[in-house]
Amino acid sequence: MRQTPFWKYLFPPLYGLVVYFTIRLLLDSVTGMKFWERKRWGMTSFELVYCIIVSYIFVWVFRRLFRWFDKRWQNERYSSRRILRELAYVFVVNLIFQNAFLTTFAALTDDGAQWYDIADINTIPLLYVLIYYGIMRSRTFLKAYIDGKVLLEKITNDKLQTELKFLKAQYHPHFLFNALNTIYFQMDENVAEAKKSVEKFSELLRYQLYDQQQTVPVSQEVRYLRNFIELQEIRSSEKLQLSVHFDNRLNGQQVYPLLMLPLVENAFKYVGGEYWIHIDAGVENGELCFHVANAIPTEIPVPTPKAGGIGLENLRRRLQLLYPEKHMLRVERTAKEFRADLKITL
């Protein structure tokens, strides 16, 4: 982690002075000596300068030690086991460092190194170095935790985007087959109409191929559905009773594309019986309300969309990913009709 000027230049001398005065005050409470009443201020000044220099070396050594921790265990999570291992290294390095610099220095000043000198030199700095370790490593652990969360969110988001692309791609084969089949039969009857169908088909494909990862104005979605419905009308029987209504207030509201398409596809695919389809879309209380209903055969059993069908399960999954807690999809089948209602909070 990059060091700020405070941690790089100001912290070491402050650390050294705190350690020095703590040890001095404890020693003087035992010996009765008052170091501030020394007649030789040169010795006190020398001790202060020495502790400051040693503190710079101390901070440099422990920064290197922390970097070594990160390099040695870079692929290991920050577990209690790792922290205990780091603390063991910190204890040993601190023990060696303090005895090499402070115990040796104490032996050469005043009355030499007594047992209480050695006890204080090995105890007081250890307490401070543990505090220093906690502050510095908590910053590193917190950064690693945040980086891990960001990475996890990125991986999750990438996974969801991949899943969304896959789910949307599942609509295309059925749509392509129907459209091409319609144009194929038109070629034998009316080439001019077939050309118009090709134009509509190309517009539909263009809409599906571009900008599908972002929201679009609902007016674009409505225009897409109108083109799709018109293309489906061409291949439908003349007895089809089709009712389509799109509220004029559906204009600039932003929605994710191709969410209403599966319901319209199902209506044209499974229509039968009295052979009617009702499609209605509007805005109510800040919600996009989309309703599709179609008649189904009553005598001859044919496949009908089920609540657990692939297409509807696909749609449900996309809604969960794009509008969590902000949508409602209800499908219902009766003896004569199949109904689907979709609400999305805009």
What superfamily would CATH give domain 170-345?
Histidine kinase-like ATPase, C-terminal domain (3.30.565.10)
What pLDDT shows up at residue 146? 80
Contact assessment for residue 85 and residue 70, using Cβ atoms and an 8 Å cutoff = no
Give the residue among 215, 217, 224 at the shortest CA–CA distance from 250.
217
Higher model confidence: residue 4 or residue 243?
A: 243
Q: What region, left, alpha or beta, does residue 129 occupy, with left being phi > 0 and alpha being psi -120 to 50 degrees?
A: alpha
CA–CA distance, 169 with 231 (Å, rounded to integer): 20
Average pLDDT, integer, range 82-105? 87
Average pLDDT, integer, range 170-192? 71
CA–CA distance, 69 with 180 (Å, rounded to integer): 64
Average pLDDT, integer, range 171-189? 70
pLDDT tens-digit series, residues 216-266: 899 988 988 998 888 888 777 778 899 999 998 988 899 988 889 889 988
Q: With bands split at pLDDT 50, 70 and 90, how would you rate the model's confidence at 30?
A: low
* pLDDT winner (highest mean) among 106-115, 228-237, 308-317: 228-237
Give the residue among 27, 47, 208, 191 at the shortest CA–CA distance from 114.
27
* pLDDT winner (highest mean) among 20-34, 95-109, 175-189: 95-109
Phi and psi of 294, rounded to 5°?
-145, 150
The encoded tokens of residue 69 equal 């921790």
Locate the domains of the chain by residue range. 5-159, 170-345
- How many other CB atoms are found less than 10 A from the CB of residue 55? 21
